[in-house]
Amino acid sequence: MKLKVIPEDFIVEELIDLPLSAKGRYTLLRLDKRLWNTLDVIGFLARQFSVSRNKFFRAGLKDRYSSSTQYLSYDGTITKPVQEKNFTVIPLGRTQRPVSAAVLIGNRFTITLRKLSVRDTAVVQKNADEVLEHGLPNYFDDQRFGSARHRKGFFARALMRGHYKGALKLLICYPHKEDSPLVKRFKTCCEQHWGEWHLCIQRVPREFRGVMRYLSEHPRAIKAALRHIDPEYGNLYLLAYQSYLFNNMAGYLIEEYGVGKHTVPYLAGDLLFYRKLKNRRTVTHMRLPMITHDLSLRIPEGKLVRSVLAEEDIRLKDFSLGTMRFRGIRFKQHWRTVIVQPHDLRILAAESDDRYPGKQKLTLCFALPPGSYATLVVKRLMFDDRAVD
């Protein structure tokens, strides 16, 4: 199976509830993009209008390798569209409040699977029937773990354990094939010239700029330099580790309640899936916390929390980040359902694949609630018992 052969094979549309208002403070913007990261688009717009990036608001991040539509807010007035290579921004009107996770209803997906055999298409349909009845685990998928795709560990965990040199290496070293050319060159420079920060400062990407500027002036002050991480990215790095811990806790529950279990590899390990659920009504309503330092272990889920903390050799109080005293960066608590149910799941009739002669392609259409991953739906639908045997 091939996914995302072209950006139009993975179409995602953000669904929001944010009424327009003639006297609103904010400009609502529709962003249509392909091959762009959402944060990079916001950075581009901030430079274009000579304003702070903090003037722009978003509900989420959309995959770079997709054709996506999402919404931004600008604190002020934008009246003309912005047209650039691979993205367009269109003003839609004024709103009283900005785009945020609070106004996000979900996301609608249209996904094309390519290079399929006749058996593959039958497997997808069989699995779809099971997903419609039993849902699938609401894990975080690879996109959430971009800061750890080098597979050498989590920046946040090193930070929590007071391993500041290790945390810095995880942040600015270890280039990966999916990094942009600029990031690859920068990380390679840091690996090869560790401590000689003046050699790398000229090619530093924006997300590492604050750290590197401080290091260039205070070469040995690693802990202090880490406090200069860009807050937007710093919070994503913390969230990546929280997401990993959530996945591990959810895996324990799937082990207990799943029937027809199987594992699927992902960037941070293996994810446990199921075909059916025992006690489906109970499990469907289960939620798990994103762990923070002030989480009470007296909750019914406390045993799961203790288990994953013990595996990671960390303590609950480590989530406070001790003496780091970041500005605008912290672990945030919220709860997430363990099981997700795709809405309006439809599979269009198989067609001949125009890019892989002799193979078929399938188009999937469905919607998911905020924060759930369409790529996990694809992984679940493609599972084939015979392939495992």
Q: What is the pLDDT of residues 125-184, one digit of tens each?
A: 999 999 999 999 999 999 999 889 999 999 999 999 999 999 999 999 999 888 889 999
How far apart are the C-alpha atoms of 165 and 171, rounded to whole Å? 10
- Pick the range with the lowest mean pLDDT from 189-193, 199-203, 253-257: 199-203
- Evaluate if residue 388 carries a pLDDT over 70: no
**Res. 16: pLDDT tops 80:** yes
DSSP character string of 308-356:
HHHHHT--GGGGG-TT---SS------EEESEE--EEEEEPPPEE-SSS
- Report residue 323's pLDDT band, with 50, 70 and 90 as the boundaries: confident
Q: In which band, very low, low, confident or very high, does the pLDDT at 387 lie, cut at 50, 70 and 90?
A: low
Beta strand ranges found along 35-143 (DSSP E): 56-58, 67-75, 82-84, 87-95, 104-116, 136-137
Give pLDDT, residue 76: 96
Cα 141 from Cα 138, distance rounded (Å): 9
DSSP E strands in 132-252: the ranges are: 136-137
**Residue 115 CB neighbours (<10 A):** 16
What's the burial of 319, exposed, middle or buried (CB within 10 Å: 0-12/13-18/19+)? buried
Is residue 389 pLDDT above 50, yes or no? no
The confidence score (pLDDT) of residue 322 equals 84
